[in-house]
Amino acid sequence: MDRLIETISTFPTAIWTVLLGVALLYWLASLLGLVDDALHFHHHGHAELHADGHEMGDIAAKLMAMGLGGVPFSLVVTLIALYGWLASALVHQFLLWLPLLLHYLLGAVLLLVSFALALPATAITLRPLRGLFVTHNAINKAVLVGSVCKVSTQSVDEKFGRAEVASGGAPFNIRISAASPNALARGSRALITDYDAASDTFTVTEFDDGVY
């Protein structure tokens, strides 16, 4: 156990340990509805961003070329961190006995090698998962105004909120906002009253089954 702790807490595996820890904290916060995945790379080689950027589009194209597109960026980062951590930890334990300078020199090489190994491993893992992240582009989002949605975040205010709208297949996941204060929370039903195409955000209000 001591050897494992030393391996994952020293260079270079410590870098992967931190990245993996951050990724796991992100997913925990996501499950609790505290964050939403703001960046998603699609099959057509472009990035859908809440704040558009040419540089992010270039990154999306490069990831697509490596077989890492078509899924949420957070999932890509998590898998790269996981495979990089595994590759580094397996080899790193044989470098612990080396003198400090040589340890860092070979550790730098190991960091690069583990990253290079993590990329194809991630691409292979993502291949069967892309069908789960199909983007529905055909729908005109404005037609959702007047629909009832189900809040998926812990709270909703003027700047933050996510919800799901039922459809014939998988539900649509949308960005929402509402005037504060309100009683909207995870699981609450809300009525969509407006859509802002510029920010791709739907305005919602509390839904009263007895009124609508």
pLDDT tens-digit series, residues 116-147: 999 999 999 998 887 777 655 546 788 999 99
Percentage of the chain exceeding pLDDT 70: 81
Class of the 141-206 domain?
Answer: mainly beta
Q: pTM value?
A: 0.61
Half-sphere exposure of residue 24, counting CA atoms within 13 Å on the CB side?
A: 8
Whole-angstrom CA distances from 173 to 31, 159, 170 are 14, 16, 9
Query: Which residue, among 102, 85, 63, 79, has the nearest Cα to 23 in the 3D structure?
Result: 79
Give the residue-averaged pLDDT of 171-177.
Answer: 93
pLDDT value for 71: 84
Give the residue-averaged pLDDT of 151-155.
Answer: 95
pLDDT value for 39: 46
Query: Which residue, among 134, 135, 194, 32, has the nearest Cα to 176 in the 3D structure?
Result: 194
Q: What are the two backbone dihedrals, phi and then psi, of residue 159, each rounded to the nearest 5 degrees?
A: -120, -10
Average pLDDT score, the chain: 83
Per the document, the length of the chain is 212
Domain spans of the chain? 2-133, 141-206
| Cβ–Cβ under 8 Å, residues 152 and 164 | yes
- Pick 47 or 200 by higher pLDDT: 200
Answer whether residue 25 shows pLDDT above 90.
yes
Answer whether residue 211 shows pLDDT above 60.
no
DSSP-assigned letters across all residues of the chain: -HHHHHHHTSTTHHHHHHHHHHHHHHHHHHHTTS-----EE-TTS-EE-SS--HHHHHHHHHHHHTT--SSBHHHHHHHHHHHHHHHHHHHHTTTTTS-HHHHHHHHHHHHHHHHHHHHHHHHHHHGGGGGGG----SS-GGGGTT-EEEE-SS---SS--EEEE--SSSPEEEEEE-PSS----TT-EEEEEEEETTTTEEEEEE--TTT-
Distance of CA 31 to the CA centre of its chain: 11
Percentage of the chain exceeding pLDDT 90: 58
Query: Which residue, among 118, 125, 67, 68, has the nearest Cα to 90 in the 3D structure?
Result: 118
pLDDT value for 22: 95
Straight-line distance from the first to the last Cα atom of the chain, in angstroms, rounded to the nearest whole number: 60
pLDDT value for 202: 97
